[in-house]
Structure 1
C-alpha cells in the first residue's frame, strides 16, 4: 500500500507542525500533500519548521526536508475556498494507491501504523476506523460521541479489519460525516467521481455518503486511528454559527442525485433511505441549534422546505418508495420527521 495523506489547513501552522512531526516519526506516508486554503499568513515550509522549533522539539522540522523519505507537496489557494476545495485539489495530486484525508488540528494515534499493516494487501473501496473525541476524553471516556458510539456497537465490528455486511453498512453510514476516519482506494474515488462539495462547511457530507452508496467492499475495524480535537473557543468549522451553514443543501442535493443513481444500479441501495433520512434530520436539527440569528433560522426553514420538495421531484421518483417505506417501518423516524415535513408543507 502506497499512502497519500492530504491535509487541508487554514491558519493552523502549529497543528500542521505537530502533524508533520508525527508523520516523520511514524513513517507511514509515501506522499503528503499540504493544501493551504488561503491562510492569512501562508502555512509555508519555513513557517511550519519555525513553529516546530517553538514547540521545543528535540529534532525540529527541517525547512528543506521536513519528511525524509516522503514526497511532500505544498499547495496554496489565493483565497479561502473551503476545506472541500482544498481536499479535492489535494486528491487531484495524489499518487498513492490509497488516500487518507486528515485535518491539521487533529492527531494520529500510534495505532494508525497497525491499521495500515492490517490493511496491507487487502482489496477494498474504503476502510473505516474509530476515533476518540476530545470532548469524550475530557469526561474520562474513550471513543466517539453518541450516537456514533452506538452505531459502531450496532455494526458489530471487531478489532481487526473485516468486510462490512450490508446491515453493518446501514449502521456505520449513520456516523457523523467526518473526512479523517477512512482510508480510500484512490482508484475507487476516481472511478466513482467521489469528491467533497466545495462549500464553506459540511463539505464532507457528500464525500461520506457517496462512498457508502457506491462502494462494493467496505472494511471496518474498531481500532482508534485518530483523536478529533474540538475547542469551543477557537474558530474551527465545528463552531461556525452563521448563515454559511445553509449551503449544506448543496451537499444534500448531490447525495440525493447519487442515491437515485445508486438505486438504479442496485435496488438494494434503497435500504439506505432510512439511515439517510435519520442522518439528514439529525444534521438539520443540529444546525438549527447552532445558528445565531432569527434571520438564519428563518432561512433554514425555507431552504429545508424547498429541499424536501426537491426530493419529491420527478427526476428523483426512485426515492419516493424508499422514503415512504423507511417512514412506515420506522415509527420513531416518522415521528421525528413529522415537524420537518410540516415545515415543508
Structure 2
C-alpha cells in the first residue's frame, strides 16, 4: 500500500507544472487593489441604473433615413425633457430613447410630445415601434428584490459549500464569488455602462458559473488530499489546480467565444448583458484558479480537515 501511494505521489508531482499558489501573495494583492478601486468607484460614481430601476420611459422609433442623434437629443432637451438618452438601435435608422420620469407628463401626452419632436427632425413620418412606461415605485421594488436575490444566492452558496466540503472552503468560495461580483459592478461603475435587469441576470449567472469552477477545483483538492499521502498542503493544492486547469480554460474559452459573438453581433439590447458576461468569465476563471484556493489556504485549511476518519482497529497497512 505504501509503495502504491509513493508511485501515485510521484505521478502527481510530474503533473505539477505551474506554481499557482507560489504567486498567491501577488494575486491576492492585485485582487485587493482592484477591489478597493471598484468599491471606491461604486461609492464615488455609483452605478448608472437603467430605467428598469429608476423608472421612466423607453421609446423605439424608426426614421426613413439615417437618424441625427445629436439633433434629436437637442430637440428633446429644448422640449423640456431632462437628460434624454438617445442612441441607435439595430441600425442607423432605428433610435432608442430613454427618458427619466417627467413631472406632470405621462401616457399619451408624453408620447405625443416626443413624436412631435421626432417628426420635426425628419422630413418623412417617423414610425413608433414601442413605448414603455416604468414607474419610480416599480424601480425601487426591483432594486430591493435584486439585493435580496444576491443576498439569498450568497447564503445558499455558503451553506452548500460548507456542507459539501469544509467551512474554510465555503468562506474561500464565498469571498471569491463576492470578489467576482465587486469586479463586475466596479467595471460598470468606472465606465458608467447602463445597468439594467439583463446585467443583473448576468451577475447572478456569473456567480453560479464561477462557483461551479471553484467547486471543481475544491473537489479535486479533497480527492488528492485523500489519495496523496506525501506533500504539504500548498503542493497538493497546486497539483489539483494543474489537473483541472485544462478543463477550466477550455470551458471558459469556448463560453467566451460565444459571449464575444453576442457582444459584437447581438445588438444593443443584449450588448451590456454580453459585456457583463465577458468580464465575469475572465474574472471568475482567475478567481477560481488563484483567489478561492489562496483564501482557503489563508484561512488555515489542512489535510486533516478533509481526510476520512479511520475506524478503530482498521489500518491501511493490513494485508
Check whether TM > 0.5: no
Interval containing the TM-score (normalised by the shorter chain): under 0.3
Give TM-score scaled by structure 1 length: 0.23
Give TM-score scaled by structure 2 length: 0.24
| Structure of greater relative contact order (alpha carbons < 8 Å, 6+ residues apart) | 2
Q: Relative to total residues, which structure has the larger helix share, 1 or 2? A: 2
Q: Relative to total residues, which structure has the larger strand share, 1 or 2? A: 1
